[in-house]
Structure 1
Amino acid sequence: MASTAALTSSPRNAKKVCLFYCAETKALAERIAAESDAIELRSITWRTFEDGFPNLFISNAQGIRGQHVAFLASFSSPGVIFEQLSVIYALPKLFISSFTLVLPFFPTGTSERMEEEGDIATAFTLARILSNIPISRGGPTSLVTFDIHALQERFYFGDNILPCFDSGIPLLKARLQQLPDSDNISIAFPDDGAWKRFHKQLQHFPMIVCAKVREGNQRIVRIKEGDPKGRHVVIVDDLVQSGGTLIECQKVLASHGAAKISAYVTHGIFPNRSWQRFGEDKGGCPANGLTYFWITDSCPLTVKEVKNKPPFEVLSLASSIAATLQI
């Protein structure tokens, strides 16, 4: 990942990029632009007609002819997807040199397979929709997304879009190196899926793997391998919804002697303000609170809610996105 200093002092041959954004991603777009003087923010007027359908306008559309263009999206709910897709489908047709869609969180990624006849894999549905983005002068659209739930979803996309799968884990590793107890960190995975997804990026840390086991009619989290005793244990996963699995993992780690417990997820979704379930460990009681809960700014609505609320700390994707836009 390129450093902020390197990006801000963009070389003369840096690719100039016109970055559009939706209302939700304005703050992140501004941080991305601050990372590099090769990135210029452009505006869209987001309005609605009286019947609720979008009334959209791309400002200075002729001014982006021949330019490299990107759009920073946030598909936070089904209701906002249509208006953003309208812009996403329109931009490549404005005679631009290339088009990049930055979608930090791919929201249907957890619905990637069928478990019985009749299940609908909506990850494939969204991938098909994005695969129909018009081709620009430079060729297929580039799609940048972070820590998609299942890597095999790359093959859900058609030939008119080129997925670029990035990760927030380098941000976590950099933050862990800044901690005063950085030499006492262990990484815990709440299940085998998280271990398979991230262990290669974190292999220089001691690891703990948890698993859900059935005891009677209950499914209980147990430690499958590793020892948390006396360690600052950081639970790592790609996303969090209600947080139930993380809390169960936290409890079992604390019961086995973890000195501190923190958590990291790239995507803090937290429907119904479920982030409120996570308190701060103020007095060495890791069973009841976390030392840190790191998330990225891939879900802008959550970022606004948890701002300045310990134990939450936001690791911005801005530098990673700015670097990726130069590829």
Structure 2
Amino acid sequence: MNAAARDTDMPTNSEPKLIAGNANKPLADAIARRMSMHRGLTVKPVEARVERFNDAEIFVEVYENVRGEDMFILQPTSNPANDNLMELLIMTDALRRSSAARITAVIPYFGYARQDRRTKARTPISAKLVANLIAQAGVERVLTMDLHAAQIQGFFDLPVDNLYASPIFALDILHHFKKMDDVMIVSPDVGGVARARELAQRIGAPLSIVDKRREKAGEVAEMTVIGDVKGKRCIIVDDICDTAGTLCKAADVLMEAGATEVHSYITHGVLSGPAVERITKSVMKKLVITDSIQPTEAVKGAKNIRIVPTAPLFAQAILNIWGGTSVSSLFDNDTLSPIYEGLYPGS
């Protein structure tokens, strides 16, 4: 490609532009406000309509000129996953055909991530299929958070930045728990040990594991605690809470093993079906989730569910990508603390 051709692909505007689907507009607005604060000027999501025809087909119209712009589409592919995924793909196509210079998909919650391998014969690897669809639509970069399996980054033949909630959780735990000598981090299964260990190291806490034997999807047959949790305030750490059956049973098992109280820090609060009711009736003192998925009114009204914001982290990551600076620097407490200074003073 010659220099003249490259020049036409460069953004003509000196600012990044955000556009949002319908999956989590409050988060998009919060990210825009944080970007405004950092940039010292007003940043608003690009005016567009993303709606459905009577037969439920999705239609997108972008009202602003985006030619040569560095575009960031904010759209988690949460429930309804298929609708939100199609919105993302169609918005990408609209921007590509409108000559946007670069399109980054900001997907706080990456749907289909649990289908990352073939567990039985004649089953799909849907996460790979979704990665192919996103790339084929015209996305050139993906920004996401706490992928269910780290190898999903390799499903894309384009750059993927996978942010982590553990630095935010570490700040939150240190702020709310104060005294740390009786805190124990717990992984709800063997597969999540790496995630739990990383948080445990950040706050200087020991690690325990709940070993579960699952008979079939959605049901847990047996649970055993590996490690001594007697007299400890246990914090269960995981990436996804769906129906909350496993989580609530793990809390029961920990209390039976002598824990004084149980809290949970989960990145993505899917919270399907009976989840909220189970959590409110459980022995868990508090479930802390992020706003990667737009919380329902039931979630916001639950007495023992608290939501921590991801907008400061995503806003800074978007600005770092736009400015060509490090995104991995945001994994560091020293970098992240100033971004969350208003929420966790003195951290």
1:16 is aligned to 15
1:290 is aligned to 284
Q: Percent identity?
A: 23
Distance in 2, matches of 1:110 and 1:261, equals: 26
Match of 1:52 among 53, 56, 81: 56
Match of 2:160 among 157, 160, 163: 163
Match of 1:193 among 191, 194, 197: 191
Q: Does 1:208 align with 2:208?
A: yes
* Structure 1 residues 72 and 182: CA distance shift in structure 2, 3 A: farther
Number of corresponding residues: 294
Distance in 2, matches of 1:47 and 1:79, equals: 11
Describe how 1:1-327 pairs up with structure 2 within 5 A: 16-37=15-36, 38=39, 39-60=43-64, 62=65, 64-76=66-78, 77=80, 78-134=82-138, 141-158=140-157, 161-183=158-180, 184-203=182-201, 204-213=204-213, 219-224=221-226, 226-279=227-280, 288-300=282-294, 302-327=295-320
Gaps spanning 5+ residues in structure 1: where?
A: 1-14, 136-140, 281-287
CA displacement 1:7-36 (0-9 Å, x = unmatched): xxxxxxxx6221110123211111111112
Q: Is the contact made by 2:61 and 2:94 (CA closer than 8 Å) also made in structure 1?
A: no
Distance in 1, matches of 2:150 and 2:310, equals: 20
* Structure 1 residues 307 and 124: CA distance shift in structure 2, 3 A: same
With structure 1 as the length reference, what TM-score do the two structures score? 0.84
CA displacement 1:73-118 (0-9 Å, x = unmatched): 0222213322331112221343333221100111111111112220
CA displacement 1:51-80 (0-9 Å, x = unmatched): 3212321111x2x22322111002222133
> Which AA in structure 2 matches 1:123?
A
Gaps spanning 5+ residues in structure 2: where?
A: 1-13, 321-347
Q: Is the contact made by 2:67 and 2:99 (CA closer than 8 Å) also made in structure 1?
A: yes
CA displacement 1:219-271 (0-9 Å, x = unmatched): 311012x2222221110011011111111211111011111110111111111
Q: Displacement of 1:214 after TM fit?
A: 8.3
Distance in 2, matches of 1:24 and 1:114, equals: 28
> Which AA in structure 1 matches 2:239?
D
Distance in 2, matches of 1:253 and 1:207, equals: 13
* Structure 1 residues 304 and 74: CA distance shift in structure 2, 3 A: farther
SS at match of 1:155: helix
* Larger strand proportion of the pair: 1
* Structure 1 residues 43 and 182: CA distance shift in structure 2, 3 A: farther
1:9 is aligned to none
Distance in 2, matches of 1:178 and 1:270, equals: 26
> Which AA in structure 2 matches 1:187?
I
* Larger helix proportion of the pair: 2
Q: Is the contact made by 2:185 and 2:196 (CA closer than 8 Å) also made in structure 1?
A: no
Question: RMSD over aligned Cα, in angstroms?
Answer: 2.1
